[in-house]
């Protein structure tokens, strides 16, 4: 195993074992030895969360452990995020993003925000449990080129559709939309008339660049 592989494995293990200190310290070490921050997130921390997800689904762990693992992941993200911040002075575009109404899952969105900021986009993160009208108001106020919304539950997916409906009702056809989150699929986004779907944070910059270049 190379040193990089070892550090990525430790990041995964820190989240898997909800070890906050290990998570923060390993993230600091990873940045010190020059591991690519995006790789540290996608190939390290996110792998830990993926394993937490499966164990939770199988009933091997419960909500408190998931919360503790989320905490460990967010601590490491705090360390890593400044290392992806953009040096670009001009913004490539404005993105207004949030987690939809009734949904408090934010980890994936935080990753997406970090990647987009790192790529030079001006990103306004509205947080969690954001109503379609709040998305709309902020999109208008901030002059959004793109609205992005995360939904992780089957019960909250419908609010992604509602965001599109509200944008259409207000004739904001120039604003593009991008969606993601555990329950969201390419098919769903096509069915609701969204402009792009993104399965994983590593792809988001490419997708958003593409949207910005389309008429």
Residue 7 or 125 with smaller CB distance to ligand B12: 125
Query: CA angle, corner 123, sides to 121 and 126, nearest 5?
Result: 165
Least Å from the CB of residue 119 to ligand B12:
13
Query: What is 25-45 written as a DSSP string?
Result: HHHHHHHHTT--HHHIIIIII
Q: Return the residue nearest ligand B12 (CB atom).
A: 108
Under rule CB under 6 A, residue 183 binds ligand B12:
yes
**Residue whose structure tokens are 């394993």:** 51
Task: Return the beta strands (E) in 51-185 as ranges.
Answer: 94-99, 122-125, 146-150, 176-180
Q: Which of 10, 52, 123, 164 binds ligand B12 (CB under 6 A)?
A: 52
**Residue whose structure tokens are 């992005």:** 148
Residue 57 or 171 with smaller CB distance to ligand B12: 57
**CB-CB contact of 73 with 80 (8 Å):** no
Residue 2 or 201 with smaller CB distance to ligand B12: 201
Query: CA angle, corner 43, sides to 127 and 125, nearest 5?
Result: 15
Under rule CB under 6 A, residue 62 binds ligand B12:
no
Under rule CB under 6 A, residue 150 binds ligand B12:
yes
Residue 12 or 105 with smaller CB distance to ligand B12: 105
Residues near ligand B12 (CB under 6 A):
46, 49, 52-53, 56-57, 63, 66-67, 70, 97, 102-109, 111-112, 148-150, 152-155, 178-183, 198, 200-201, 204
């Amino acid at each position: 195993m190379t040193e990089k592989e070892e550090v990525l494995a430790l990041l995964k293990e820190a989240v898997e074992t909800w070890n906050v200190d290990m998570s923060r310290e390993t993230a600091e070490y990873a940045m010190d030895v020059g591991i690519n921050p995006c790789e540290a997130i996608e190939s390290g921390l996110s792998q830990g969360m993926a394993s937490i997800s499966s164990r939770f689904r199988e009933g091997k762990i419960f909500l408190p452990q998931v919360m503790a693992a989320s905490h460990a992941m967010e601590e490491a993200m705090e360390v890593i995020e400044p290392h992806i911040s953009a040096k670009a002075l001009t913004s490539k575009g404005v993105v207004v993003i949030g987690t939809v109404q009734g949904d408090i899952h934010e980890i994936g969105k935080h990753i997406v925000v970090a990647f987009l900021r790192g790529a030079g986009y001006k990103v306004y993160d509205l947080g969690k449990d954001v109503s379609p009208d709040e998305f709309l108001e902020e999109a208008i106020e901030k002059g959004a080129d793109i609205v992005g919304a995360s939904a992780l539950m089957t019960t909250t997916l419908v609010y992604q559709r509602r965001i599109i409906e509200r944008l259409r009702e207000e004739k904001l056809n120039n604003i593009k939309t991008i969606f993601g989150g555990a329950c969201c699929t390419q098919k769903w986004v096509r069915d609701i008339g969204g402009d792009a779907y993104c399965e994983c944070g590593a792809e988001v910059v490419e997708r958003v660049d593409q949207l910005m270049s389309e008429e």
